Amino acid sequence: MRRTRVGIINVTGYAGVELARLLYQHPGVEVTSVTGRSAAGQKLGKVFPHLAGLDLIIQAELGEVDFAFSALPHKESAREVIPLVRGGLKVVDISADFRLKDPAAYPTWYGFTHPAPELLALAVFGLTELYHSQIAAAQLVANPGCYPTSAILALAPALRAGLIEPDIVIDSKSGVSGAGRTLSLGTHYSEVNEDVSAYALEGHRHLPEIVQELNLLSPKSPVRVTFIPHLIPMTRGILSTCYANLRPGKIAPGKKGKDELMTLYSGFYRGMPFVKVVDVSPHTKHTYGNNDCIIYPTTDYGGEKLVVISCLDNLVKGAAGQAIENMNLMLSLPETTGLEALAVYP
């Protein structure tokens, strides 16, 4: 049986190169075309020696494929994706260009007017744990951002069950690869090593995406989100700690309430292969290189606040792995195909 021919637009970024690595051993597809304007004409294995097994030349334009991933930055991605979708191709876009349903949000948060607002209604937000059937039927999937994936999965069960008040705090830490591969002073080794810093305090671009999806989980009680990201000196990983006041009387006090939370979260994610609900606070290393999101729900000392810790690899479940998860559903393949590797340790 012929494998599906897959193309990667912008293989030279971190998300694109991670897509190529994960797809190399995927039994249902074959990467047949990769683009990267800065490296066009070069062998993929010359630019990235660890990908030498993919005997491909990096092209300036995508060749003939059956399915495409776009790993371009925002604004640039939409320009490439729009003609592909209009031509009938199935696409997963890893940028933010189709995540927000309100076209008016793009000038505010991303600095451009959306060139095809009618496609925002067509695009399905690619969080399989919430939109499994819609993704399976989709032509265009907007892959979620890394921070939103960790936060939405952490809070979804509590919001859906009406356990918490709408004022939510999300404190997230990310490794440096989340900033992308483009050179910048703020991600130089000497700048980030032995340092932790908060950034985007005036509002991170992922905030409207988080609010959009959390409000869909809590339509009768719109959320108010304080989201503060931090840069920490490691390559991969996101750890989010989410806080919200519990509604009075919704769970029992003390250990019984914590057990109720575990039951709620475990039941919500039952049968969802890439969310692991655990009974001890997880480490980012527990997800290094794999497609899991690990979640630990608990309460504060006084039993009045929900506290949820979630962690994931920002390049896998936060980008390329989740994109492949979406592709699997869109191609009627088992969701876990090509994504069953364990985390790398140490």
Whether 56 and 83 have beta carbons less than 8 Å apart is answered as no
311 part of the active site? no
**Cα–Cα distance list, 223 to 109, 122, 155, 183, 285 (Å):** 19, 25, 11, 36, 31
Classify the phi-psi angles of 212: left when phi > 0, otherwise alpha if psi is within -120 to 50, otherwise beta. alpha
* Gap between the Cα atoms of 48 and 63, Å rounded: 20
* Gap between the Cα atoms of 104 and 117, Å rounded: 9
Please provide the distance, in angstroms rounded to a whole number, between the alpha carbons at the two ends of the chain: 38
Q: Which structure tokens are listed for 54?
A: 């993919």
Query: Angle 146-160/207-217 helices, nearest 10 degrees?
Result: 20
* Gap between the Cα atoms of 141 and 326, Å rounded: 7
DSSP string, 186-220: GGSHHHHTT--EE--TT--TTHHHHHHHHHHH-TT
Catalytic residue (one of 146, 242, 293, 311): 146
- Active site amino acids: 146
